[in-house]
């Protein structure tokens, strides 16, 4: 896979890594994990496992 300076956007205000000024995620990489008991092959089958609540 070719490395093309990918960008991660984030609009989840409660996420610790969200840069609200630019709607970007400050993580350099994300982990994606499947949701429990969901094998639909649709986008909702996974979720961002890197999310952390900003207190």
pLDDT in the model for residue 13 = 83
pLDDT in the model for residue 52 = 73
Total domains present in the chain: 1
Per-residue pLDDT of 2-49, as tens digits, reads: 667 777 777 888 888 888 888 888 888 877 777 777 666 666 666 766
The CA distances from residue 44 to 19, 22, 38, 47, in Å, are 24, 25, 8, 7
Of residues 55 and 45, more confidently modeled: 55
pLDDT in the model for residue 21 = 86
List the domain range (segments joined by +) for residue 32: 1-55
SS3 47: strand
CA distance 6 to 31: 14
pTM score > 0.85 for this model?
A: no
pLDDT in the model for residue 11 = 80
């Amino acid at each position: 896979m070719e490395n093309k300076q990918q960008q991660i956007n984030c609009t989840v205000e409660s996420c610790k890594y969200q840069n609200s000024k630019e709607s970007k995620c400050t993580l350099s990489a994300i982990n994606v994990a499947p949701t429990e008991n969901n094998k639909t092959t649709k986008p909702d089958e996974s979720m961002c496992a890197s999310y952390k609540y900003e207190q």
